[in-house]
């Protein structure tokens, strides 16, 4: 069921109270913060196609030794991997890095506090999932401030 206003529609089925802009308008979607040591996952609405423009997340690593390396994983509703973008740089212990995957980026750009990675230009079917998997994530590492920039159709 959906209720429509002048500029948006609220879907009360899969994502109760979630405001969806009119078709093709950009929408920033905050992803709930996972517990420490866990990865994050977001599943799109079942009834809309999705164009993903940017994915951002901040990883705060603990004092636990290890070299963290995040990968962005995009799957369809059948759990088939459509894209996997592996980081080419790593993050050590006691660091805070900003990880961004974005359309239009052609080369990986690394700084001392983050990484900018390419994101493929693909249209995702309804109920697709966007998630991160991090090599060597420690039990006290924390993903924070994760957000997606999407367009729904």
Pairwise CA distance, residues 72 & 88, whole Å: 12
Give tens-digit pLDDT for 37-83.
999 999 999 999 999 999 999 999 999 999 999 999 999 999 999 99
Where are the chain's structural domains? Answer: 25-152
Pairwise CA distance, residues 150 & 54, whole Å: 7
Give tens-digit pLDDT for 88-116.
889 999 999 999 999 999 888 888 788 89
CATH code of the domain occupying 25-152: 2.60.120
């Amino acid at each position: 069921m959906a209720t429509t206003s002048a500029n948006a529609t609220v879907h009360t089925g899969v994502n109760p109270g979630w405001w969806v802009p009119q078709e093709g308008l950009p929408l920033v979607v905050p992803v709930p913060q996972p517990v420490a040591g866990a990865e994050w996952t977001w599943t799109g609405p079942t009834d809309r196609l999705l164009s993903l423009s940017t994915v951002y997340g901040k990883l705060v690593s603990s004092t636990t030794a290890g070299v963290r390396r995040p990968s962005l994983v995009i799957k369809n509703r059948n759990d088939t991997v459509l894209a996997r973008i592996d980081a080419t740089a790593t993050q050590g212990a006691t660091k805070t890095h900003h990880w961004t995957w974005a359309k239009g980026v052609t080369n990986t750009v690394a700084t001392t506090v983050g990484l900018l990675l390419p994101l493929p230009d693909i249209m995702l079917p309804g109920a697709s999932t966007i998630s991160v998997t991090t090599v060597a994530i420690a039990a006290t590492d924390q993903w924070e401030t994760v957000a997606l920039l999407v367009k729904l159709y």
